[in-house]
Amino acid sequence: MTDSTHRLEELRWPDVEQYLETRASPTVIVPIGSTEQHGPHLPLAVDAFQARDLAEEIAVATDVLTAPLIPYGDANHHLEFPGTVSLSTETVVAVLEDVYASLAGHGFENIITVNGHRIANLPAIETAMQQSTERHPEVSFAAIDPLRLGISVHERLRDGDPEDGMHGGEFETSYMLARYPELVDEEAFVKESHETAPYQTVNLIGNDDRVLTPSTAHSPEDGDLGHVGDPTLAAPEKGEELWAELVADAAEFVESLGAADSEAADE
Amino acid sequence: MTDSTHRLEELRWPDVEQYLETRASPTVIVPIGSTEQHGPHLPLAVDAFQARDLAEEIAVATDVLTAPLIPYGDANHHLEFPGTVSLSTETVVAVLEDVYASLAGHGFENIITVNGHRIANLPAIETAMQQSTERHPEVSFAAIDPLRLGISVHERLRDGDPEDGMHGGEFETSYMLARYPELVDEEAFVKESHETAPYQTVNLIGNDDRVLTPSTAHSPEDGDLGHVGDPTLAAPEKGEELWAELVADAAEFVESLGAADSEAADE
Amino acid sequence: MTDSTHRLEELRWPDVEQYLETRASPTVIVPIGSTEQHGPHLPLAVDAFQARDLAEEIAVATDVLTAPLIPYGDANHHLEFPGTVSLSTETVVAVLEDVYASLAGHGFENIITVNGHRIANLPAIETAMQQSTERHPEVSFAAIDPLRLGISVHERLRDGDPEDGMHGGEFETSYMLARYPELVDEEAFVKESHETAPYQTVNLIGNDDRVLTPSTAHSPEDGDLGHVGDPTLAAPEKGEELWAELVADAAEFVESLGAADSEAADE
Amino acid sequence: MTDSTHRLEELRWPDVEQYLETRASPTVIVPIGSTEQHGPHLPLAVDAFQARDLAEEIAVATDVLTAPLIPYGDANHHLEFPGTVSLSTETVVAVLEDVYASLAGHGFENIITVNGHRIANLPAIETAMQQSTERHPEVSFAAIDPLRLGISVHERLRDGDPEDGMHGGEFETSYMLARYPELVDEEAFVKESHETAPYQTVNLIGNDDRVLTPSTAHSPEDGDLGHVGDPTLAAPEKGEELWAELVADAAEFVESLGAADSEAADE
Amino acid sequence: MTDSTHRLEELRWPDVEQYLETRASPTVIVPIGSTEQHGPHLPLAVDAFQARDLAEEIAVATDVLTAPLIPYGDANHHLEFPGTVSLSTETVVAVLEDVYASLAGHGFENIITVNGHRIANLPAIETAMQQSTERHPEVSFAAIDPLRLGISVHERLRDGDPEDGMHGGEFETSYMLARYPELVDEEAFVKESHETAPYQTVNLIGNDDRVLTPSTAHSPEDGDLGHVGDPTLAAPEKGEELWAELVADAAEFVESLGAADSEAADE
Amino acid sequence: MTDSTHRLEELRWPDVEQYLETRASPTVIVPIGSTEQHGPHLPLAVDAFQARDLAEEIAVATDVLTAPLIPYGDANHHLEFPGTVSLSTETVVAVLEDVYASLAGHGFENIITVNGHRIANLPAIETAMQQSTERHPEVSFAAIDPLRLGISVHERLRDGDPEDGMHGGEFETSYMLARYPELVDEEAFVKESHETAPYQTVNLIGNDDRVLTPSTAHSPEDGDLGHVGDPTLAAPEKGEELWAELVADAAEFVESLGAADSEAADE
């Protein structure tokens, strides 16, 4: 029997009961990714692995629990590429609301979603958090996304142009080289860019699109490779450094929640 | 009989037919607001009026049509305040999808949603645009929101602290003073601020929250006044200047769409 | 600042609070119309304007509030005509139930829907009222429709044949001539009639169809002009007289509700 | 093996195939009732039996088919009385749409719903017919209801006051005495009336309510007996005469459909 | 007036009230069948009649009530055959949940569904029972299906091969010969078999498929007759014997429920 | 870069494209488990691990692909125990239908669901397969469940009484001892049994309940330990033997599909 684990699924129910009873402000992290094409050089699991790894490392750093990974997300615009699996927006909302309701029912006071698949999952996550807050006002919901949380670290580490794009590009490839090099095909590294529509940006950092537009489907039949960005700028060190800072910042946030709750309890 | 109007509802069907047949890239703007409390000094319609006015002024500037205003949005977290009316997120999605489907069916090639009620409506608008794009790939969908579109103009005009907050504060009050002074109660101007949670901002400009959280309900029973921001910094001139720049920028965007479509048609 | 208004959206939340606290039986009127073709002579907004104007005039006459207009309804059978916008029946039900729930939550005791788009919206309104009554038994729900409320006044004022039809015909055109003459194209006045199916009537007054059938789609491609009725019989005076009597009768109904509530409270 | 039957469920599939292939305009009748209290003197099945019997007699008279009875309807406002079973409005819509879709798929050109449970089922039937018309434009949908179809015969036969009410009263009791006397408890005959709200009527014939309101729940705990009307005026002869005329009129309508279809086919 | 009946629909509400008040453990049986093709020799109603008859005979044997038959089920895979009517799985779930909720609300403590249409209805019945148990934990839900309940009696009586199939075959035809011989076309008796997929069985008794697969549609256009099994082995005596044993076993089960409830009440 | 993997998520899209193009009958396995209490001696992930491991081992044995694990299922009746996470039945159906639709769209011809959480997930899986078959008739759907597939091997290996129960008992504990001994708490091994209701069995092998009933919630507050069965009879060897046979049998089934498809293609 393991001495300790932070994975909810590896615990027995009396372990979870004890966790809930002994923490001032019990916290659980719910990772959600996507199973979708990331160009010819990266596997379909990039977003799922990012969500799972980020959740687990934050959990270890802060001594909280992670729920099992939801490996599928809203990836409709990638369905033209073989292997992509997509849930509809409303299915993602339903899954998250059910998971949140179960966890809230057990007494978790902080439920933090870690999203590995920015933009496309965010409307569903925001909808699920908003509706769940109405039903479980005693719970603090929050969502962490690498690009949102890591605005400044991305900008500091970046070698490429912000308009190169960020789907399977410099940073996601660096992360995969750091953690799953055996799944990366370096021979397939090609810079792939898309023309930007007026008033829009493919720099997903900082979320500075002045006008919002839906993700548009692309297709291998049009000659698209699937990714948008420049994997030739990737390096494992860049992935490690990015990750370390993301985990550190997220851990600081998670710890601030517990502190806030304790203070509130003190009043 | 009027010589001309840009309001869809004031046209007869042969007028709409003619509009659709004679434009290279027919465009329609769909305004959606919210009917929700904006503090003791502003009426419930602030978001609805912003959506409607912005839509109409862009339409006049670019010679396109506006659909009738959807005056209700997702305002659940304001329901504690008398008079607020809220649609659920899924109802907002349903309304938008039905409206988009009708307009797409008539042959409009650009359907632009103007949101007067930032953040809370955005998950629904993004969901509706994404799902509608899948069903109507021939249509370009886009959403314009004053705070997104007007990042730099807000920053330039601002006198207060970015963390003062932006619900019924400096800018919304300036707009109302400029356009609907008879509905503003200047005697009720009070600066009202909220403590910011860790990693978050009440500066809605630029959308720089590093962690996403649901809107939390507040209540007059807790002594909240309802708004977050500083109406004492408001001035009608500021409202006019802001509005002029928003309309000019939006018009430029709308015109770029037509141009992009024309170019595409030329190929 | 205005001295007084009956429009909910023009009030600030403390005004609404005061209204609710000082009335024996607080009442709000919810107008719902449709944005749909009304023949070549009338604009798409006829039903929306009727709902909004009737609601506002009743509100003024009885000193109650009106909620913002829902400008869209169930108009599927008109979608062949450019400009028509339709919500599905279930979307209309969802919108009304959400609006009713918000208003019931604030303490309105009478929620009266004014429908400008007879027949097609009625199944949705009846469904929404029935389901909302189960959830809010303390609220009195009612729906007013010009043709139902005004059976006798229509019969008294009518110059045409009852079987001429009533969509864009004698009465709707009279109302538009009285209120919005600049939106009426008198040169396009043509009598347009449809053959009546067995056991059915196009006399919408009195609702005497012996067999119910769904509205059937017509289309400009079949040569239909869109309206059914005789606009050449329209006159602004007829519109004014009809309207005055509708408002007077509706006001009497609204006042009877307050009285009934007061009596009940006295027991 | 029977020589002939008009009940779909008693046919084998090759019989149905033959029916469909040999008729110019194949017609099927779908009966829907309700299982709900009808006062202390009548069984719960009154509406179900009316729908089934009317459907079958029309089918025999016109040589068309009947589908199996849907014995449940929207009877929420009667749930306080033991034995009442209610489907939600949306469940009734779903059942009807599925049944209509199956029948339309087989090639029935006329699908006629016979409702035994007026008012409460009508919004659901109208919604289902409207939505099904959009999906199956080649099918003629219609709904027959005894009170709508039989306006004049009810008025001619009536001995009581139109405001006595019509749920378990003079006419429904007469029908049950004519057809199912063994299920009627004559010793429990009591006249039961309800006060009418302003602008409304309990005369369900002619549907002349000037204002629409939802059905309100009543309850045995308030001393209600459940019915509204005067069973002491009932007589089996009245039931037979009413029924004969309803069936004759309905048959005329059904036959007119076939004729209309034939003419259309001739063009 | 009848002295007694076990059919809920033939009772008046005071009868149902009395039934509920005088039983230690009030029980109601809900029959659900299907209207679907059963080969060229049997009518569409086989499953509906089985459900209704089994429910009624169990009710008589145990002195409990039956609700009206739901004559439609989930029969999508038979829609190619004329006359089949199918509800979607989610519609069947909705109907059952609404019926269960009404009955639970009246105080029935045991709600037993009798399914005449095995396999295809079971996922819907299981879903509805599971979800209703969560909402009505005080109610015991159970479902009886002839093939499940009658595993051993089928095996004992069977003359054919277990792999002959059981849709319109030896047993269903025997039941129909015993009860509704006038609806059976003996001249159309043909043995019809389907090749079994690997790891699967068409012996529906005992439910021994090692791998679950969806029902697959067949079609008269492919030369299918619709049934699977051997009607030439049918005999009315076999039907009577099967039925007697099913009713006896079911009655024993129903009585055990009452006993279990009584014991629980004694504690 | 790995030479080969059977996990869809570890492939790049051109790998998936190649897989689809080079196989006569492309097959993918979708594992679904549950995160739910399994007594004080086993972790919450038992069902999830069983689904994932069985899927992967079958995939390796037959050279087909596995989709990422869905770690959550319909576990409502276990929610009283800390840590259990449950999706509603309709959410499970939605997830499966979306996953199936994506995979069918890419051209997979056999989609095999491996369920690690018997009974409770089966209604959802059967519903999703049935509805997906209607939409994707070209795809063969099948579901494998250890208890169904392994009826005879369970019976052969069993040391305990069939009525001991099978949730966290002899077999699930043996599997966990064989594969994840570090997550098993042998000190917490206790035989836990439930009294069986009449006509029912807790022997989940063979599915011989003569009457179907919903899973009933139990609770630690009632002194329940959560599992039903006898973990003291568990042994890792038993787990290995069971597993080897399940994988071998499943592999035989999967290979028969490809063969069947090839034959069909040959015709």
Residues A255 and A142: their CA atoms lie apart, in Å, by 13
Return d(Cα F128, Cα A87) in angstroms, integer.
14
- Identify all chain C residues contacting B99, using CB atoms and an 8 Å cutoff: 72, 85, 87
Considering CB atoms only, which of A14, A44, A88 is closest to F8?
A: A44
**pLDDT tens digits along D185-199:** 999 999 998 877 777
pLDDT tens digits, residue range D35-59? 999 999 999 999 999 999 999 999 9
Task: Give B179 or C218, the one with higher predicted confidence.
Answer: B179
Least confident of C72-81, C218-227, F60-69: C218-227
Q: Average pLDDT over chain B, rounded to whole?
A: 91
Q: Is D3 part of a structural domain of the chain?
A: no
Sheet architecture: strand order including F65-66: E211-212, F140-144, F110-115, F27-32, F65-66
pLDDT beyond 50 at E93: yes
Within 8 A of F86 by CB-CB distance, chain A residues are 98, 102
Q: Is the pLDDT of residue B18 over 60?
A: yes
Q: Which amino acid does the sequence have at C84?
A: T
Quote the pLDDT of residue C164: 84
Please tell me if residue E264 touches chain F, with a CB cutoff of 8 Å: no
Nearest beta carbon to residue A43 from set F12, F38, F94: F12
Residue C127 has pLDDT above 60, yes or no: yes
What is the pLDDT, as a whole number, of residue E262?
53
- CB-based contact (8 Å) between B16 and chain C? yes
Mean pLDDT within D85-112: 97
CA distance C139 to C123: 20
Q: Specify the DSSP class assigned to residue C7.
A: B
**Helix C170-179 × helix C236-266 angle, to 10°:** 90
pLDDT of residue F153: 92
- Give the tens place of pLDDT for each residue, B128-143: 999 999 999 999 999 9
Report, as an integer, the average pLDDT of E172-198.
92
First to last CA, chain A: 40
- Bigger pLDDT: D202 vs C73: C73
Q: Helices C236-266 and C46-62: crossing angle, nearest 10°? A: 50
Give Dmax over CA atoms of chain D in angstroms.
62
Chains touching F (at least 3 CB pairs under 8 A) are A, E
For residue B71, being part of any structural domain is answered with yes
Q: Find, among F161, F262, F239, F141, the residue nearest to F205 by Cα.
A: F161
List A117's β-bridge partners, or say none. none
Look at residue C117 and tell me whether its pLDDT is greater than 90: no
- Contacts of residue C14 in chain B, CB cutoff 8 Å? 40, 82
Interface contact F217-E134, CB threshold 8 A: yes
Q: Which residue's entry shows tokens 């994988």? A: F247
Tell me the C-alpha distance between A18 and A120, whole Å.
37
At C120, the pLDDT band (50, 70, 90 cuts) reads: confident
pLDDT in the model for residue F165: 84
Between C166 and B168, residue with greater pLDDT: B168
Q: What is the pLDDT of residues D1-11, one digit of tens each?
A: 444 799 999 99
SS3 F112: strand
Q: What's the CA angle centered on E64, arms E62 and E65, to 5 degrees?
A: 140
Residue D166 lies in a domain: yes
Q: Which residues of B touch A142 (CB under 8 A)?
A: 211-213
Residue of B nearest to C49 (CA): B9
Q: Which residue of E has its CA nearest to F93?
A: E90
- For residue F125, pLDDT over 60 is answered with yes
Residue pairs spanning E and F at CB distance below 8 A? 139
| Chains touching B, CB cut-off 8 Å, 3+ pairs | A, C
Helices E122-135 and E89-106, axial angle in degrees (round to 10):
40
Tell me how far apart the alpha carbons of residues B31 and B72 are, in angstroms, rounded to a whole number: 10
Inform me whether the C-beta atom of residue E89 falls under 8 Å from chain F C-beta atoms. Answer: yes
Chain C partners within 8 Å of B185 (Cβ) = 1, 12
Cα gap D131→D148, rounded to integer Å: 22
The end-to-end CA distance of chain B, in Å, is 40
Q: How confident is the model at residue F1 (pLDDT cuts 50, 70, 90)?
A: very low
**What percent of chain B shows pLDDT beyond 70?**
92
pLDDT for position C266: 44
For chains F and D, having 3+ Cβ pairs within 8 Å is answered: no
Chains linked to A by 3 or more Cβ pairs within 8 Å: B, F
User: Is residue B99 predicted with pLDDT exceeding 50?
Assistant: yes
Whether residues C48 and B226 touch (CB distance < 8 A) is answered with no
F102 inside domain:
yes
**Out of B76-85, E234-243, F256-265, least confident range:** F256-265
pLDDT number for residue A212: 87
| pLDDT, position A42 | 98
Asked if the C-beta of B210 comes within 8 angstroms of chain A's C-beta atoms, the answer is yes
Both tokens of C234, joined, read 């329209």
Statement: residue F262 has pLDDT above 90: no
Confidence of residue D204 (pLDDT cuts 50, 70, 90): low
The per-residue pLDDT for E194 is 80
> CB F9 to CB A44 under 8 A?
yes
Q: Is the pLDDT of residue C258 over 90?
A: no
| Residue numbers in A near B214 (CB within 8 A) | 126, 129-130, 132-133, 141
Residue E65: name the closest of E16, E132, E101 by CA: E16
Distance (Å) from the alpha carbon of B182 to chain A's nearest alpha carbon: 32
Partners of residue B93 in chain C, C-beta under 8 Å: none
Tell me the per-residue pLDDT of E103-137, one tens digit each, with 9 for 90 and over: 999 999 999 999 997 778 999 999 999 999 999 99
User: DSSP readout, B162-190?
Assistant: GGG-SBSSHHHHHHHHHH-GGG--GGG--
Residue B143 main-chain phi, psi, to 5 deg: -130, 135
At residue D260 the predicted structure's pLDDT band, cuts being 50, 70 and 90, is low
Q: Name residue, tokens 């980020």.
A: A54
Mean of pLDDT values over E63-72: 98
The pLDDT, as a whole number, for residue D117 is 78
Question: Taking all residues of chain F, what is their mean pLDDT, rounded to a whole number?
Answer: 91
Interface size between B and C, measured as CB pairs under 8 A = 187
Query: Do F122 and E125 count as a contact with CB atoms less than 8 A apart?
Result: no
pLDDT at D63: 95
CB E29 within 8 A of CB E65: yes
- Specify the DSSP element, H or E, that contains D142: strand D140-144
Starting at the edge strand found earlier in the chain, the sheet holding A110-115 runs A65-66, A27-32, A110-115, A140-144, B211-212
Determine, for residues D199 and C130 on separate chains, whether the beta-carbon distance falls below 8 Å: no
Q: What are phi and psi of E29, to 5 degrees?
A: -110, 130
Chain C, nearest residue to D209 by Cα? C148
Which strand (E) or helix (H) includes residue C265?
helix C236-266
- Mean pLDDT in residue range C124-131: 95
Contacts of F145 in chain E (CB under 8 A): 212
pLDDT band at E267 (very low <50, low <70, confident <90, very high): very low
- Contact predicate E66/E112, CB 8 Å: no
Residue D244, φ and ψ in degrees, nearest 5: -60, -40
How many interchain CB pairs under 8 A, A with F? 188
Distance (Å) from the alpha carbon of C42 to chain B's nearest alpha carbon: 6
Q: Looking at CA atoms only, how far is residue F199 from chain A in angstroms?
A: 31
Q: What is the pLDDT of residue F208?
A: 65
Answer whether B touches F (≥3 Cβ pairs < 8 Å).
no
User: Which of A20, A85, A103 minimises the CB distance to F102?
Assistant: A85
CATH code for the domain of C22? 3.40.50.10310
Amino acid type, E124: A
Mean pLDDT on D131-135: 94
**F255 at interface of E, judged by CB pairs closer than 8 A:** no
Residue D188 lies in a domain: yes
| pLDDT computed for residue C212 by the predictor | 87
Nearest CA in chain D to C150: D210
Number of domains forming the structure of chain D: 1
Nearest to C41 among B12, B40, B79 (CB): B12
Average pLDDT over residues C166-188: 96
Strands B65-66, A110-115: pairing is: unpaired
> What subunits touch chain E, counting only 3 or more CB pairs under 8 A?
D, F
d(CA A17, CA A34): 31
Q: In the β-sheet with B27-32, what is the strand arrangement from edge to edge?
A: A211-212, B140-144, B110-115, B27-32, B65-66
How many whole angstroms separate alpha carbon A130 and alpha carbon B123? Answer: 10
Residues of chain E with Cβ-Cβ distance to D15 below 8 Å are 83
Q: What is the DSSP string of chain E?
A: --S---BGGGS-HHHHHHHHHH-SS-EEEEEE--B----TTS-TTHHHHHHHHHHHHHHHHHT-EEPPPB--B--GGGTTSTT-BB--HHHHHHHHHHHHHHHHHHT-SEEEEEESSTGGGHHHHHHHHHHHHHH-TTSEEEEE-HHHHTHHHHHHH--S-GGG--BSSHHHHHHHHHH-GGG--GGG---B--PPPTT--S-TTTT--SEE-------GGGT--S-BB-GGG--HHHHHHHHHHHHHHHHHHHHHHHHHHHHHHH-
Q: In this structure, is residue E2 part of a structural domain?
A: no
CB contact under 8 A, A127 and B122: no
Letter for the amino acid at F104?
A: A
Within an 8 Å CB–CB cutoff, is residue E122 touching chain F? yes
Is there an interface between F and C (3+ Cβ pairs < 8 A)? Answer: no
**E205 pLDDT higher than 80:** no
Is B17 among the domain residues?
Answer: yes
Nearest CA in chain D to C258: D198
Please judge whether A141 and B217 are an interchain contact, meaning their C-beta atoms are less than 8 angstroms apart: no
> Which of F112, F127, F144, F246 to probe by mutation at the E interface, max E CB count within 10 Å?
F127
- Kindly report which listed range (D71-85, D147-161, E191-205) carries the lowest average pLDDT score: E191-205
Q: Within a 10 A sphere around the Cβ of B135, how many other Cβ atoms?
A: 11
Q: What is the structure's pLDDT at B4?
A: 73
On whether any CB of chain E is under 8 Å from the CB of F105, the answer is no
Domain interval for residue A102 = 8-266
Q: For the whole model, what pTM was predicted?
A: 0.94
Rounded Cα distance, D92 and D94, in Å: 5
Kindly give the confidence (pLDDT) of every residue in chain A, 267 residues in length, as a single tens digit, with 9 standing for 90 and above.
Answer: 444 799 999 999 999 999 999 999 999 999 999 999 999 999 999 999 999 999 999 999 999 999 999 999 999 999 999 999 999 999 999 999 999 999 999 999 999 999 997 778 999 999 999 999 999 999 999 999 998 899 889 999 999 998 888 899 999 999 999 999 999 999 999 999 887 777 776 666 666 678 888 888 889 998 999 999 999 999 999 999 999 999 999 999 999 987 665 554 444
According to DSSP, the β-strands at E65-66 and C65-66 are: unpaired
D152, closest residue in chain C (CA to CA): C210
Q: Is residue D2 part of a domain?
A: no
The nearest CA of chain C is from the CA of D185 a distance in Å of 31
Share of chain B above pLDDT 90, in %: 78
- The band of C208, judged by pLDDT with boundaries at 50, 70 and 90, is low
Q: Is D152 on the interface with C (CB under 8 A)?
A: no
Select the residue from F6, F44, F92 to test the A interface by mutation, using most A Cβ atoms within 10 A.
Answer: F44
